[in-house]
Amino acid sequence: MFGRLIPHDEQFFQAFNELAKQLVAAARKLAQLFDDADHAAFHVRALKEIEHQADVITAAVNLRLNRSFITPFDREDIHMLVSRLDDVVDLIDGAARRYEMLHIKTVRPQAKALARVLVDAADHLHLAVEGIKKPTEVTRQVAEVKRLEEEADTIYQEAVGGLFADGGDVLDVLRWKEMYDTLERTTDYCMGVAQALQSISLKNA
């Protein structure tokens, strides 16, 4: 089916690519936040702007979807893809706002590790979006996202286990448990995007 695309359809693919770029930007900004906690407010504001841009792109795709008689693939799949990409950006923005709300002063190494995993997952999702017309390429990138999700699960389990084993301040334990939960859930959502891309690519090969 992808071989029969008309120029009008390319506008959808350009939007998918722009949304994937916002995801990459959001993941990188979160990693910068964790590496530069002294300027947290700046990074949180920047992430909010990225999240807003992702919302604008998502809304534009859905509007175009409603106005288009012919679409490059199933409308439900287009809506699912952009919604899942936008959901990940929302979660990353939420992690940054939660970090600020919880008044965290020192970022734990495990949080930085999870943020780096998110950056890598976002990069692979972007590559999958760029290669959506090539099932083999999408499959390769999906496998990488799956590997990263498993890596994040391991980091999360060790991080949470360490929190309770250390017997530290109760409030600090609760703060970081909430942060780790959010970061781990975000990597799970990345896998959801990967699965959507895999399904779309195979259905339309």
What are the extents of the domains in the chain?
2-203
CA–CA dist 23, 118 (Å, integer) = 10
CA–CA dist 127, 137 (Å, integer) = 8
CATH architecture of 2-203: Up-down Bundle (1.20)
pTM of the predicted protein model: 0.92
Token pair of 56, please?
A: 């604008």
CA–CA dist 70, 184 (Å, integer) = 38
- Does residue 89 contact residue 51 with C-beta atoms inside 8 Å? yes
Render each residue's pLDDT in the chain as its tens digit; 205 residues: 444 444 557 888 999 999 999 999 999 999 999 999 899 999 999 999 999 999 999 999 999 888 887 888 888 999 999 999 999 999 999 999 999 999 888 899 999 999 999 999 999 999 999 999 899 999 999 999 999 999 999 999 999 999 888 777 888 899 999 999 999 999 999 999 999 999 999 888 7
